[in-house]
Structure 1
């Protein structure tokens, strides 16, 4: 009976995805180093794209590390400031959603306030804690950066709420403008890897490579570009790595921009390794990326909110703390944040409730 329901659930999810996303457009443009005229590709020659068969093999043979449960958040002692004119402040909200405040500009990464990460509101992976900052408590958002079009990173309901409230400029990889415009978002800038977007005299947003993939349905795989971002600021370069596996792009980013002042690095959805390795960092991989980037400080993201891999809700945090401590890094060098944690980079924690120890 359990197998029957798994097939029924899987079939329903596939039908919902095809219904919601069959019209997702692909990029049309010249052939380049990372685009063959139809689909985008990763830098690593050994990268292996997972097939539908691989996906089904994982889905029907899952061995979850632990049972996820709802974790209520403790009330934080502070809210993010309205603006940061001097210094750099970052607030971990949930998943890959981080508020970056620098040079008087408020940037939000991969915003998601929805209860589920899915094409429909009633099915799909659900969240297991509230966002660390209520939507209503966000300061005005100037720029939103989107790493790729997966539902947990490009959440259209959250983007529509932000557009209705603040009309921010939304920055995304090549091929994503049409989908966003169809959701009513009028200010969209598409970037290629290594392409800059000047914000003001002090701040520039650069698209940079990531090792991942894109799809809203299996019919449009890799037809839009995935990426990370470097915010070149008066406080130094800040990397939002997006969703990524460990690949040659980290060394290239370091070569081009120098040591990072801060790196936002994903650590979740990394099990099973045979399936996730190419596309998701493990805690140990994130520590290696921190080293390659020569990052002065790093923050773990993309964990503990949605059960997207077989890794556990709390086990991922424990493993990150273990590998960090074994490497001899202080908690202030590689943060493992609690949702709602507010950090002043290069300084002590701004928030009293900010970090796992």
Structure 2
């Protein structure tokens, strides 16, 4: 089934699946809908149909094999040690100071409310569910199907019923329905204390939300900064390039580690306000003064028009053009595990 057919089908058939936040007006909530710091107009059906009319012939994606060797995942790590295992898409296992953290967990075969249509997986997860250590904390950045996957959350709730889930305003009810009891909703710049002297803060992202044709921007999208005595760690979820990264640097200082999305960026006129391309991601890396950045959100599901392997080659070109050392911003393969050094000026 072609992209236009299944996407229009999702818009028309899944209206019942939406949710909405109800609360007082704030700087980023008008009482009905949330908005970005940069209030660019949201692309509607007309713009979507224009994209579909103008797109050229698309080269099919090919299925990729899983990792040749399984990553060495510890039950937990302690002290300043920081391990990040790339599972797929925007799903990371972050291990630090005794906590095992999952981001936007996604083990489904399709990013869709239906099992028979929607973007399908072209790369197996780098870690199977059975290979996960005990999970303490799950971060859900927003409600798009490639970030909030009901099937994956239900399975995680069955395996780790004591895990805490943190998400944006309005998403809690949907996540509780998956079986989790401990769910917190954050607004931008709102913080939550964690063990070992750590602090989790919701941060702005330039994106949007929707699970149906009737709930656009009714729930909040956000990223997360994990502050610890060893330096801050950023998981931004999904974001275009805006002032958000400069604001994070002003508030938290240089990042020890940042996961930065580099995929789903073509055509630019349609995607630029909500998805970074690799050049944008390198600029975000520089604005954050990130010691180590990991490329995410590419190569697993075909969500836009760039080629399957184009994000990685475009990242290499952008790093060269901006004079950024390749060892500071790399693209992993599912199953890759990185050991992130502490910031050099942090006293341990």
| Pair in the same fold by TM > 0.5 | yes
Match of 2:168 among 170, 173, 192: 173
What is residue 76 of structure 2 aligned with on the other side? 83
Tell me which residue corresponds to 2:242.
Answer: 247
1:73 and 1:64, CA in 2 relative to 1: closer, same or farther beyond 3 A?
farther
Distance 1:12 1:83 in 2: 43
Could you say which residue in structure 1 is the equivalent of 2:52?
59
Pairing partner for 1:213 from 208, 230, 233: 208
* Structure 1 residue 219 displacement after superposition: 0.4
Whether the 8 Å contact between 1:79 and 1:137 is mirrored in structure 2 is no
Alpha carbons of 1:65 and 1:133: their partners in 2 closer, same or farther (altered >3 Å)? same
Partner of 1:26, secondary structure, is: coil
Offset at residue 93 of structure 1 (A): 0.6
1:312 aligned residue: 307
Residue 11 of structure 2, aligned match among 6, 9, 14: 14
CA RMSD of aligned residues (A): 1.7
How far residue 185 of structure 1 moved from its aligned partner, in angstroms, is 2.4
Q: Distance in 2 between matches of 1:117 and 1:223?
A: 20
Query: What TM-score do you get using the length of structure 1 for normalisation?
Result: 0.91
> Which of residues 108, 112, 117 in structure 2 aligns to 1:123?
117
State the 4+ residue runs in structure 1 displaced beyond 6 angstroms: none
CA–CA separation in structure 2 for the residues paired with 1:8 and 1:162: 32
Taking the aligned partners of 1:325 and 1:7, their CA distance within structure 2 comes to 36
Give per-residue Cα distances to partners, 1:175-220, cap 9 Å, x unaligned. 1111112233222100000011111132211100000000001200
Give the aligned length: 340
3-state SS in 2 of match to 1:98? strand
| Residue pairs, 1:171-320, within 5 angstroms | 171-320=166-315
Deviation, 1:61, is 3.0
Partner of 2:63: 70
Look up the match of 1:92. 86
Give me the whole-angstrom Cα distance separating, in 1, the residues matched to 2:4 and 2:77. 50
Residue 327 (structure 2) pairs with residue 340 (structure 1): no
Q: Counterparts in 2 of 1:25-40, with a 5 A limit?
A: 25-40=19-34
Aligned to 1:355: none
**Residue of structure 2 in register with 1:49 after alignment:** 42
CA contact (8 A) 1:169 1:187 kept: yes
Take 1:124 and 1:114, find their aligned partners in 2: how far apart are those partners?
11
TM-score normalised by L of structure 2:
0.93
